């Protein structure tokens, strides 16, 4: 299995934890890393599940934080303000790893975090996403509306509560639950 290059053999929970944070961090800088675009699942205001793809923008391992940028007017922001606990789902076929992450989110707007996020994206093609005249999901009125002067950017800062890791391997699947204190090996 190691010869295939994809599956490494960490033994202890601490090593697994370290490897997971390493992959999450890589995903923020490697455009081809599958974990760069996880699915974010929230509870809709109607109580139904809502899930969408997002970009993992920053990882702060020391604080156990994952950061996502979004339009402050998007429905997911209202959903996270109403119910701040949400999940991220990551799957990498290269690693054969699924990672389910439960997080408690803070929504940051008009503050240093939001300003820093804007500085990071303002020169990128996604800058206009935050300057659209209308909120994401609202009906298009005219095809080309003028852009706003002020970016409607919000930072979703998620503090990791727990992670559920699943590795698919021919020799046997492995699964573990990690919270802040410990790593528990589970039946896959
Ligand atoms: C590859 C990909 C990456 C995306 N990244 C983001 C992102 O980082 N932030 C974001 O708000 N929406 C992102 N979106 C759009 C969301 O999936 C979603 O359509 C939009 O944010 C509206 O979601 P909401 O109505 O649930 O708030 C991305 C979509 C795709 C396909």
> 69 CA distance to ligand 1 centroid (A)?
9
Nearest protein Cα to ligand 1, atom 26: 76
| Mutation choice for ligand 1 from 40, 41, 56, 70, CB with most ligand atoms inside 8 A | 70
**Structure tokens belonging to residue 168:** 């698919």
Domain range enclosing 84: 2-89+103-137+146-161
Half-sphere exposure of 100 (CA within 13 A, CB side): 7
Ramachandran class of 18: left when φ > 0, alpha when ψ lies in -120 to 50, beta otherwise: alpha
Rounded to whole angstroms, the Cα distance separating 137 from 97 reads 32
| Mutation choice for ligand 1 from 53, 75, 132, 135, CB with most ligand atoms inside 8 A | 53
Nearest protein Cα to ligand 1, atom 10: 70
Which CATH number belongs to the domain containing residue 129 in this structure? Answer: 2.30.110.10
> 144 CA distance to ligand 1 centroid (A)?
21
- Domains in the chain: how many in total? 1
Please report which confidence band the pLDDT of residue 7 belongs to, taking 50, 70 and 90 as the band edges: low
Q: What is the pLDDT of residues 120-158, one digit of tens each?
A: 999 999 899 999 888 899 888 777 788 989 999 999 999
**Structure tokens belonging to residue 111:** 């503050």
Domain-embedded: residue 166: no
pLDDT recorded at residue 145 = 81
SS3 180: coil
Through-space distance between the first and last CA atoms of the chain, rounded to whole angstroms: 18
Domain-embedded: residue 186: no
Domain-embedded: residue 188: no
Half-sphere exposure of 90 (CA within 13 A, CB side): 28
Count of other CB atoms within 10 angstroms of residue 61: 15
Asked whether 55 and 35 are in contact (CB, 8 A), the reply is: no
Domain-embedded: residue 65: yes
Domain-embedded: residue 68: yes
């Amino acid at each position: 299995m190691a010869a295939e290059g994809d599956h490494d053999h960490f033994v202890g929970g601490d090593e697994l934890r370290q490897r997971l944070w390493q992959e999450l961090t890589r995903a923020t800088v490697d455009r081809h890393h599958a974990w760069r675009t996880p699915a974010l699942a929230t509870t809709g205001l109607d109580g139904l599940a809502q899930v969408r793809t997002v970009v993992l923008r920053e990882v702060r391992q020391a604080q156990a934080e994952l950061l996502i940028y979004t339009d402050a007017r998007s429905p997911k922001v209202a959903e996270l303000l109403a119910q701040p606990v949400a999940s991220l789902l990551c799957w990498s076929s290269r690693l054969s790893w699924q990672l389910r992450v439960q997080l408690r989110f803070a929504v940051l707007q008009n503050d240093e975090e939001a300003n820093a996020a804007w500085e990071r994206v303002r020169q990128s093609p996604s800058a206009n996403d935050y300057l659209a005249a209308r909120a994401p999901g609202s009906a298009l009125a005219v095809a080309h509306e003028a852009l706003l002067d002020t970016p409607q950017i919000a930072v979703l800062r998620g503090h990791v509560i727990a992670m559920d890791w699943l590795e698919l391997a021919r020799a046997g699947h492995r699964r573990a639950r990690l919270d802040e204190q410990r790593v528990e090996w589970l039946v896959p």
